[in-house]
Amino acid sequence: MLPRLLDLGRISLPTYGVLSALGLILGLLICVKLAKREGIDPDRAWNLGILSIVAAVLGSKLMLLVTDWSGVTAELPGIFTRQTFSALLHGNTQDRHAAAALSLIQAGGVWYGGLLFGSLVAILYMWRHRLPVLKTFDAYAPGIAFGHIIGRIGCFAAGCCYGKPTDEPWGVTFTNPLAAYYSGTPLNVRIHPTQLYEAAANSVIFLVLLWLFRRKKFDGQVLGAYFFLYGVARYFLEFYRDDPERGSVFGGAMSVTQLIALCLVVTGGLLWLRRTAPQPVPATT
């Protein structure tokens, strides 16, 4: 669609990067605002958000390397060289290793990797500064969902995370060669707009989480709902995805992403069940 917002030769502005940054900023603003309502120190909330964002970006790239290891390892030795750095600096994307490095940099990464690594770093930060873990995650869940909406629109603009061929009237056709170059998007083929499917699903989830946040009965309720709802949505959305960056498990029975989605569903359910579990009756003398 529109992989680059600006292209001035050596200087280019990728649409995905701009929208991802916008999603992170707006999502973080929502997180901090909701954290204040939970009585969390705003400075701690900002620091937690920024640290988690950095960790999420790194985690998404690491998960990309894991799930697409065979495709990356062939170019990996040549990426981290002085010649490749010089080629990137001078805008020489004709160099094979420079093109591979640029593709790795501009690739959105695997979102689940960002969620898992970002959550791990967030938990360590909360433990270090004695923040209530579940209460804090309840405040951050709606903001994460909102940022994900804008991020998926960025994916649609870039052509990554594309869907399978379809004859449905709402199918989309990508024609920009940059989408094929950086993401392997099939051109001139009507495919499912899976990026927009997920953006729509996250929009519904965001509204549900906001509604639930104002009415929550226990800490962890909003987080549990987010895990459950997004896990269900992502599991079924995977059947329409056609990009090869998610890996597979159990002999190809499901993708790694679907396995993680099921884990999120179970975790979300457990967070709700812990509230409804019967409490032990105190012993009487």
Instruction: Write the secondary structure of the chain as one string of H (helix), E (strand) and C (coil).
Output: CCCEEEEECCEEEEHHHHHHHHHHHHHHHHHHHHHHHCCCCHHHHHHHHHHHHHHHHHHHHHHHHHHCHHHHHCCHHHHCCHHHHHHHHCCCCCCHHHHHHHHHHHCCCCHHHHHHHHHHHHHHHHHHCCCCHHHHHHHHHHHHHHHHHHHHHHHHHHCCCCECECCCCCCEEECCHHHHHHHCCCECCEECCHHHHHHHHHHHHHHHHHHHHCCCCCCCHHHHHHHHHHHHHHHHHHHHECCCCCCEEHHHCEEHHHHHHHHHHHHHHHHHHHHHCCCCCCCCC
User: What would the mean pLDDT of 75-104 be, rounded to a whole number?
Assistant: 55
* Residue 191 structure tokens: 């495919």
User: What would the mean pLDDT of 30-38 be, rounded to a whole number?
Assistant: 94
Q: What is the pLDDT of residue 210?
A: 96
**pLDDT tens for residues 184-193?**
899 999 999 9
For the ranges 27-31, 90-94, 114-118, the maximum mean pLDDT occurs at 27-31
Q: Mean pLDDT over all residues of the chain? A: 82
* Residue 50 structure tokens: 């920024």
Q: Name the residue ranges covered by the structural domains of the chain.
A: 4-273
User: What would the mean pLDDT of 61-88 be, rounded to a whole number?
Assistant: 58
**pLDDT tens for residues 190-214?**
999 999 999 999 999 999 999 999 9
Q: What span, in angstroms and rounded, lies between the C-alpha atoms of 147 and 206?
A: 10
User: What would the mean pLDDT of 107-129 be, rounded to a whole number?
Assistant: 81
| Least confident window among 60-64, 122-126, 166-170 | 60-64
User: What would the mean pLDDT of 1-29 be, rounded to a whole number?
Assistant: 80
* Residue 232 structure tokens: 């269900």
Q: What is the pLDDT of residue 142?
A: 97
Q: What is the pLDDT of residue 162?
A: 92
Q: What is the pLDDT of residue 68?
A: 58
Using 50, 70 and 90 to split pLDDT, how confident is the model at 110? low
| Least confident window among 57-71, 77-91, 144-158, 244-258 | 77-91
Is 152 annotated to bind a ligand? Reply is yes
